[in-house]
Amino acid sequence: MSKALDGVRILDFTHVQSGPTCTQLLAWFGADVIKVERAGEGDATRGQLRDIPDVDSLYFTMLNHNKRSITLDAKNPKGKAVLDKLIKNCDVMVENFAPGALDRMGFTWERIQELNPRMVVASVKGFGPGPYVDCKVYENVAQCAGGSASTTGFDDGPPMVTGAQIGDSGTGLHLALGIVAALYQRNTTGRGQKVLAAMQDSVLNLCRVKLRDQQRLERTGVMKEYPQYPDQHFGDAVPRAGNASGGGQPGSILKCKGWETDPNAYIYFITQGAVWPAVCKVIGEPGWITDEAYATPAARLLHLKPIFARIEQWTMTKDKFEVMDILNAYDIPCGPILSMKEIAEEPSLRESGTIVEVDHPTRGKYLTVGNPIKMSDSSTEVTRSPLLGEHTDEVMAFLGYGAEEIHAMRDEKVI
C-alpha cells in the first residue's frame, strides 16, 4: 500500500518533544524523515529519564519512530557543506531550536531559499513575535502563557498544569498541519515557505473555549454552568472550573464503588438535556422529571451541586464499568476515569493500533502510542526509533560522499 506522504523527504532538525512529535507524524504518513543529531551526543532526550542504563530512553524512543538518524556537527564547515546538500535534497526542514540558533549556524531563511527555493522551513518556537520572542520555552511554560493553567484546577487552589502535553505535542500537531498545507500550496506556487507554530499560540488555540467564556463573563458578569454559580463571586477573568464541563451540557467527575482505595474509581457523568428523564429513572428520582426545580436545563443550573451529589450516591454503589454499561444502555454520555495501566492493557486499543508493542535492539519490547490518525489508504506500521547515527553512512552515500571521505569526516568528529 502506498503512503500519503510517499516521496516527501524531511530534514528533521528537531529535539526534545515538540518538533519530534511533528516529524514522527509525518514519518507515519510515509515521509522519509532524516533526523540530524549532534555528533557524539544526539538528542538530549536519548539520555533523559532513562529506565535502563546506556539504552535510549522511552522519552526518545516514543517520539522518534520510523525515522533515520545521522550525526553531524552543523557548526563545522564540512558539516555545513553536508547540510547544504541535505537542504538541496529535502522538501521540508523542521526545527525547534532556541530562537536565532538556526541563523547563528548560518542557515538563515535567505540562505536556505538560495539553496532550495522549494523548501518548506517549519519551526516551533515558544512565542510568536512580541515581547517574549527570544525566550526558550518548555511544555509547562507554554501551558501557563497560553491560558491553560489559569483555567485549570479548582477555584480554591493554585493554577494547574495538565498531564496532556498540549504545549509540546499539541504544537507539534499544529506544525504538522502547517507543513502539509505548505506542501499542498507548493504544488501550485512551486515555492516553499516559512511555517511557524508558537507554543503559546497552539495552547491558546486549544483553550479557545476559555476566551469565549472570558467575553461571555465580561458581557453578563456570570456563567451559570460554572461551579461558582449561584453561590460564589465571579472576578473579572475566567475562573478555574474544577471538573465542571464548562459547556452547554453540565457534567462532573463522580465517585464510584472502591473510590476509598482506588484513585481512579471515578466516572465522568454528563446530564445531557435530552436524557434527563432517563437519568432520573436510573438514579431512582422519577419525581425530578416533572418537578419544576429540576425539569428544565435552566432550572437545573441553580441546583447542579445537589443534583450531582444525588447522582453520586448512585454511582458509588457500582464500579465505574458497571456504571458505564448501565448508562450506555440509555445513551447517557459518560466515561470511566482510566488509569495508564488500564489503557496499556486495553485490548481494543491494541487492535486498533493506538497502543503498539515495538521491539528495540538494546531495550527489548516496549509499548508506545501509535498513529492516532487512521487513514483508509495510508496505513501506519510503527517501526523502532533509530540508534544514534545509525543511518549516517547510507545518507552520506546518498548525498554523494565516498567511503574514504566518510571515514575522514568521522575521524574529525564532523559526523
- Which residues contribute to the site for ligand CAO (CB under 6 A)? 16-19, 36, 38, 72-75, 96-98, 101, 104-105, 124-126, 136-139, 168
CB 86 within 8 A of CB 398: no
* Least Cβ distance, residue 229 to ligand CAO (angstroms): 37
The Cβ of residue 84 has, within 10 Å, a number of other Cβ atoms equal to 18
What's the DSSP call for residue 382? -
Whether residue 262 lies in the annotated active site: no
* Least Cβ distance, residue 32 to ligand CAO (angstroms): 19
Cβ closest to ligand CAO, residue 105 vs residue 270: 105
* Least Cβ distance, residue 374 to ligand CAO (angstroms): 26
DSSP structure string for 97-155:
PSTTHHHHTT--HHHHHHH-TT-EEEEEESS-SSTTTT----HHHHHHHTTTGGGSS-T
* Least Cβ distance, residue 252 to ligand CAO (angstroms): 32
Residue 278, amino acid:
A
Cβ closest to ligand CAO, residue 86 vs residue 311: 86
CB 19 within 8 A of CB 138: no
* Least Cβ distance, residue 72 to ligand CAO (angstroms): 5
* Phi, psi (deg, nearest 5) at residue 75: -100, -10
* Least Cβ distance, residue 86 to ligand CAO (angstroms): 11
Cβ closest to ligand CAO, residue 6 vs residue 41: 41
Question: Residue 205: exposed, middle, or buried by beta-carbon count in 10 A (0-12, 13-18, 19+)?
Answer: middle
What's the DSSP call for residue 352? T
Both ends of the chain: CA-CA distance in Å?
35
Catalytic residue among 56, 168, 201, 213: 168
Strand 67-71 and strand 32-37: the pairing is parallel
Q: What is the distance between the alpha carbons of residues 120 and 22, in angstroms, rounded to a whole number? A: 14
Angle of helix 304-315 relative to helix 276-283, nearest 10 degrees, comes to 50
CB 48 within 8 A of CB 55: no
Cβ closest to ligand CAO, residue 137 vs residue 275: 137
* Least Cβ distance, residue 394 to ligand CAO (angstroms): 18
Cβ closest to ligand CAO, residue 11 vs residue 124: 124
Cell of 241: 472550573
Look at residue 92 and give its three-state secondary structure.
Answer: strand
Residues known to be catalytic: 168
